[in-house]
Amino acid sequence: MTSRLPTRLDARFRACAQEGRAALVTFVTAGDPDLATSQAILAALPGAGADIIELGVPFTDPMADGPAIQAGGLRALKGGQTLAKTIAMVRAFRESDAATPVVLMGYYNPIYIYGVPRFLEDAKAAGVDGLIVVDLPPEEDGELCLPALAAGLDFIRLATPTTDDRRLPAVLTNTAGFVYYVSINGITGSAAPDPDAVAGAVARIKSHTGLPVAVGFGVRTPEQAAAIAAGADGVVVGSALVDAVRRSLDAEGHATAETVGAVTGLVASLAAAVRGVARQAAE
Amino acid sequence: MNAPNSFRTGPDENGHFGIFGGRFVAETLMPNILELEAAYRAACADPSYKAEMEEGLKHYVGRPSPLYFAERLTEHLGGAKIYLKREELNHTGSHKVNNVLGQILLARRMGKKRIIAETGAGQHGVATATLCARYGLQCVVYMGAVDVARQAPNVFRMKMLGAEVVPVQSGSKTLKDAMNEALRDWVTNVRDTFYCIGTVAGPHPYPGMVRDFQSIIGIETRAQMLEAEGRLPDSLIACIGGGSNAMGLFHPFLDDPSVAIYGVEAAGHGIASGLHAASLTGGRPGVLHGNRTYLLMDDDGQIAEAHSISAGLDYPGIGPEHSWLHDIGRVNYISATDEEALAAFQLLSKLEGIIPALEPAHAIAKVIEIAPTLPADHLMVVNLSGRGDKDIPQVAEILGSRL
């Protein structure tokens, strides 16, 4: 991807690097718990300290997600969330924020059913910067990855502890924007990662690529985020934010006056922790 | 679409049957899937693996299963001559054990000590628990909470065999959710765990591998029919959830154009009601559980809940090779309702002294419909894929006579 123009993702990682710190990547599920509240959360994330936003596309059968994100997706679907509405959320977000990168994260079937060419066109036009599609490994690059790159959308691949040096080149080929290192063998929001092992893995990946490496799965607290931030270009927090949404709901599962603040409050404390840690390794 | 030279060459090296199949899994699982594919290929080339399989199928499973002429059913229907392939006589009571034996022997070769499985009706779970007991392997079976309730006898059997049965509370609490949870377990315990998938679905190499293990059904049927009648059957019929018993019967006959083939999906309350499990009849191509195949879903690509009286057919997808055979027209896919299956369940019990599982009762239901329209010299084989003991409490409740 040598010929691509600088993107929002490139600019944001570069800016964070210049500040000598990791980027805070926040995941929230689109439409959770309802469209209006979710749109308000999205709009408030940059101000709370999110550097990059991963917007989860709800799916009925999220095979790589733990209970928190499964539940968030089901809340959103129950509220009538669709892929078209999720793309529209990004379009609305872009009216007030032209700089914060937004990456859609989810599973392939809703995109496949929407239609790949139409999806890429609509997502690009709405201001989406990249895609993370959990169930599309390099073996299926022809489905979405290559068309996405051709359409000017970054395709961000997951690397995992099982991705050894032999396989890593296959994973990194056609990856753009950044590499998402899954810090544990497991589903989202489960075991806590070991910061030392993660730093070693990040260094291993960086010996194969010039792309930034963000680390996620299992990072829940400001303390954990700070520990991971010391050895990575970005820290992803998802389940903890989706849990914060859940805890703020009323007995019927509806948003309350607390919901947006519950998420932004946690993001602010995560941002403070990440900003307080200097990167160990220079670029 | 032009017919290929052979219907039996799939999948290609990327696991595709036409546009169907593939490897749509999280990166965490890819090294495992590639390892499994290599191990299976090596095993197929190893005569000792084949010998071990044959030994197990003969002395532990009890193969060959009989091809039985159903004389009274034939007389009653007054048309085609009906043979039952008696897979319900296998050890553990269904065809599922054919595949599990192959996978467990493979897991042993790969040095995996922990086996996980998903199950719907519980037949695959029981077969997996059985072979794990036989070989001293740890066994965890994921089963939707709804299925745990309606298939209580099998839950008890699995526990008796030493397996841990995990009731799955997510989603529709049936087979698809059990498969999600098994995949989550595999992602988490990827290094030491072997995922024993129960049907011809999932990421490559599972669809082709499970088909290979189940093809013993069709291979035997072919030889047995030649011995009994001196010629091939004229038609084959089998029920389809994921489609492993059907694929096992069909595959060895796909290149015999004289053999008509019928797959029977579960129509639940009727296709028009929307409450069914007929992925081919009522669904469209999508991606779930590692493969592209026909799925029940809404316009946003969200997977719909399947509905069937039979827990083993209650799945919103189908094996990718069936999707391909459907699109190219080699196999005729039809469907039977809950009501038709219940009637067939009772009819076969009374006429032949064989209580079928609710799954193959769907195939019997279509035999009841099709056989009378055919001449007496038409040879029809129906796969009696499982026995109905597990369904007795549920059927008794529906029929209103508490046992």
- For A60-86, what is each residue's pLDDT tens digit? 999 999 999 999 999 999 999 999 999
- CA B58 to CA B42: how far, in whole Å? 23
Which pLDDT score, from 0 to 100, does residue A283 have? 43
Query: Which A-chain residues 81-140 have CB contacts (< 8 A) with chain B?
Result: 82-84, 107-114, 134-140
Q: Are B25 and B47 in contact (CB under 8 A)?
A: no
Q: Which of B37, B81, B94, B96 is catalytic?
A: B96
Look at the block and give the residue holding tokens 């996620």: A216
Instruction: Kindly indicate the confidence band of residue B402, based on its pLDDT and cuts at 50, 70 and 90.
Output: low
Q: What is the mean pLDDT of residues B199-227?
A: 98
Between residues B211 and A164, the one the model is more confident about: B211
User: Is the pLDDT assigned to residue A3 strictly greater than 60?
Assistant: no
Query: What's the confidence (pLDDT) of residue B400?
Result: 85
Specify if A278 maps to a domain.
yes
Residue written as token pair 């799955």: B168
Contacts of B16 in chain A (CB under 8 A): none
Query: Lowest mean pLDDT: which of A185-199, B40-54, B278-292?
Result: A185-199
Q: Closest Cα partner for B40 from B175, B203, B182, B180?
A: B203
Q: CA dihedral in degrees (B103, B145, B320, B106; nearest 10)?
A: -10
| Residue whose C-alpha is closest to residue A100's, from A152, A61, A48 | A48
Question: Which segment of B100-104, B110-114, B144-148, B292-296 scores lowest on mean pLDDT?
Answer: B144-148
CB atoms A162 and B32 under 8 Å: yes
Structural domain contains residue A227: yes
Cα–Cα nearest to B81, from B231, B216, B220? B231
Which residue in A109, A157, A182 is closest to B287 by CB distance? A109
- Which residues, 6 or more positions from B268, have their beta carbon under 8 angstroms from its beta carbon? B275, B276, B277, B278, B306, B307, B308, B309, B337, B338
CA distance B351 to B346: 9
Structural domain of residue A231, as residue ranges? 8-282
* A1 domain residue, yes or no: no
- List residues of chain B with CB under 8 Å from any CB of chain A: 14, 22-32, 170-171, 176-177, 180, 183-184, 187-191, 286-290, 295, 297, 299-303
Instruction: Name residues 45-74 of chain A within 8 A of B (Cβ).
Output: 58-64, 66-67, 70
For residue B143, the tally of other CB atoms under 10 A from its CB is 32
Angle between helices B152-160 and B392-399 (to 10 degrees): 160
pLDDT, tens only, B5-51: 899 999 999 999 999 999 999 999 999 999 999 999 999 999 999 99
Q: Could you tell me if residue A190 is inside a domain?
A: yes
pLDDT band at B4 (very low <50, low <70, confident <90, very high): confident
Token couple for A208: 């194969």
Nearest of B184, B129, B183, B143 to residue B315 by alpha carbon: B143
Q: Which residues of A are catalytic?
A: 54, 65
**Domains identified in chain A, total number:** 1
User: A157 touching B, CB under 8 A?
Assistant: yes
Q: What is the mean pLDDT of residues B365-388?
A: 98
Concerning whether B350 is annotated as a catalytic residue, the answer is: no
Q: How many CB atoms lie within 10 A of CB A197?
A: 13
Residue B75 has pLDDT above 60, yes or no: yes
Report residue A32 CA to chain centroid gap. 16
Mean pLDDT, residues B268-275 taken together = 95
pLDDT digits (tens, 9 = 90+) for B229-267: 999 999 999 999 999 999 999 999 999 999 999 999 999
Average pLDDT over every residue of A100-112: 98
Q: What is the DSSP letter of B78?
A: T
Looking at residue A105, what is its pLDDT?
98
Q: What are phi and psi for residue A264, nearest 5 degrees?
A: -65, -35
Distances (CA, A) of B296 to A137, B13, B277: 24, 27, 8
**CB contact at 8 A, B296 and B156:** no
- How far is B394 from B399, CA to CA, in rounded Å? 9
Q: What is the pairing mode between strands B20-24 and B67-69?
A: unpaired
Which CATH number belongs to the domain containing residue A276 in this structure? 3.20.20.70
Taking the CA of residue B17 and the nearest CA in chain A, the distance in Å comes to: 14
C-alpha B140/C-alpha B43 separation (Å) is 25
Chain A nearest-CA residue for B292? A109
Residue B286 has its nearest CB partner, among A58, A113, A164, at A113
Per-residue model confidence (pLDDT) at position A40: 98
Chain B: closest CA distance from residue A111 (Å):
8
Q: How far apart are CA B260 and CA B175, in angstroms?
A: 30
Helix (H) or strand (E) holding B135: helix B123-135
| pLDDT higher than threshold 50 for residue B381 | yes
CA distance B75 to B72: 5
- Asked whether A9 and A19 are in contact (CB, 8 A), the reply is no
The sheet with strand B114-119 has its strands ordered as B164-168, B138-144, B114-119, B193-195
How far does the CA of residue A269 sit from the closest CA of chain B (Å)?
29
CA nearest B287 in A: which residue?
A: A109
Above pLDDT 70, what percent of chain B? 99
Q: Give the CA distances from residue A217 to residues A65, A179, A192, B190, in Å, rounded to whole numbers and listed in that order.
A: 9, 13, 8, 16
Q: How many residues does chain B have?
A: 403
Contact assignment for A185 to B190 by CB distance below 8 Å: yes
**Length of chain A counted residue by residue:** 283
Q: How far is CA B24 from CA B74, B94, B202, B217, in A?
A: 45, 29, 9, 29
> What are the two backbone dihedrals, phi and then psi, of residue A152, each rounded to the nearest 5 degrees?
85, 20
Maximal CA-CA distance, chain B: 56
| Closest CA relative to residue B216, chosen from B100, B118, B310, B105 | B100
For B295-307, the pLDDT digits (tens) are 999 999 999 999 9
- B118 is a catalytic site residue: yes
Residue A219 forms part of a structural domain: yes
> Which candidate from A60, A114, A158 shows the least CB-CB separation from B27?
A158
Burial A65-98 (b: 16+ CB within 10 A, else e): bbbbbbbbbbbbbebebbbebbbbbbeebbeebe
Q: Is residue A3 part of a domain?
A: no
List strands edge to edge, sheet with A154-155: A154-155, A130-133, A102-106, A52-56, A23-29, A234-237, A213-216, A179-182, A158-159
Q: B202 — phi, psi (to 5°)?
A: 95, 180
Q: Do the Cβ atoms of B102 and B217 come closer than 8 Å?
A: no
CA gyration radius, chain A: 17
Residue B165: helix, strand or coil by DSSP?
Answer: strand
Is beta strand B81-85 parallel, antiparallel or unpaired with respect to B379-383? parallel
Provide, as residue numbers in chain A, all residues whose Cβ is less than 8 Å from the Cβ of B23. Answer: 137, 139-140
Least confident of B47-61, B169-183, B205-219, B362-376: B169-183
Mark yes or no for CB contact B30/A64 under 8 Å: no
Q: Are strands B67-69 and A23-29 parallel, antiparallel or unpaired?
A: unpaired
Nearest to B151 by CA among B403, B388, B382: B388
Q: What is the mean pLDDT of residues A30-59?
A: 98
Quote the pTM value.
0.96
Compute the distance between CA of residue B144 and CA of residue B173 in angstroms, rounded to an integer: 4
